[in-house]
């Protein structure tokens, strides 16, 4: 039964992110001119997500994302990057002591990441491209399992990846009228 709420939440955030991406004006402007009621009239955005968007536009933070981030260690965060699985993430953390995606981003460009076994030219390029997309959308830093079971771990990691990506998309759209991709 635990999977259903996660699946619903995932679908809800996807639908909301798609709506926000297609807006012709920033969420912050909509909130300023028409209030939260205008957001809830948009497809895929209910009261809860409208509140999240409002908080995001006011503070730059999303409580659900903060909560999910707190429940994951550095290796899980690193493993959210395409091209980096759990084993490679563990190696990156062990060899370089990297705990955050902003540190990983720096290591990808300053040459340290190539010291990790398994990080060759192609994987390094894929990591750089993935992180560049995340940081470009966010404009700053960042974007990962409980030990109660592997499927729950994967589901939580997937939910965090989705919420993080969609929050980045929403945050960027909140502040900029240019569409972003989730």
- Would you list the domain boundaries of the chain? 3-70+157-175, 74-138
- The CATH code that applies to domain 74-138 is 1.10.150.20
Look over the chain and give the mean of its residue pLDDT values, rounded to a whole number.
Answer: 75
* Closest of 68, 66, 33, 39 to residue 53, by C-alpha: 39
56 with 138: CB under 8 angstroms?
no
- Name the token pair of 74: 């550095």
Specify the pLDDT at position 40. 93
- Cα distance between residue 159 and residue 140, in whole Å: 22
User: How confident is the model over 22-41, as a mean pLDDT?
Assistant: 91
- Cα distance between residue 74 and residue 78, in whole Å: 6
160 with 72: CB under 8 angstroms?
yes
Task: Check residues 112 and 167 and name the one with the higher pLDDT.
Answer: 112
Does pLDDT of 175 surpass 50? no
Q: Where does 90-163 show beta strands of DSSP type E?
A: none
- Name the token pair of 11: 């679908």
Per-residue pLDDT tens over the stretch 41-85: 999 999 999 998 998 888 888 877 777 767 778 888 899 898 899
- Cα distance between residue 134 and residue 141, in whole Å: 8
Ordered alpha helix ranges (H), 22-100: 27-34, 36-40, 47-59, 63-70, 74-78, 86-96
Does pLDDT of 173 surpass 50? no
CA–CA distances in Å: residue 112 to residues 62, 77, 98, 173: 32, 18, 10, 33
């Amino acid at each position: 039964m635990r999977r259903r709420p996660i699946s619903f939440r995932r679908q809800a955030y996807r639908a909301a992110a798609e709506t926000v991406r297609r807006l012709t004006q920033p969420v912050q402007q909509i909130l300023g001119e028409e209030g939260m009621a205008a957001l809830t009239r948009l497809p895929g955005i209910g009261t809860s997500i409208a509140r999240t968007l409002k908080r995001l536009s006011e503070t730059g933070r999303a409580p659900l994302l903060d909560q999910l981030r707190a429940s994951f260690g550095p290796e899980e965060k690193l493993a959210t990057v395409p091209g980096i699985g759990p084993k490679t993430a563990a190696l990156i953390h062990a060899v370089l002591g990297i705990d955050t995606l902003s540190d990983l981003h720096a290591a990808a460009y300053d040459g340290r990441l190539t010291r990790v076994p398994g990080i060759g030219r192609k994987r390094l390029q894929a990591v750089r491209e993935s992180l560049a997309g995340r940081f470009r959308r966010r404009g700053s830093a960042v974007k990962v399992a409980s030990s109660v079971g592997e499927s729950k771990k994967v589901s939580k990691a997937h939910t965090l990846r989705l919420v993080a990506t969609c929050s980045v998309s929403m945050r960027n759209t909140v502040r900029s009228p240019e569409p972003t991709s989730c």
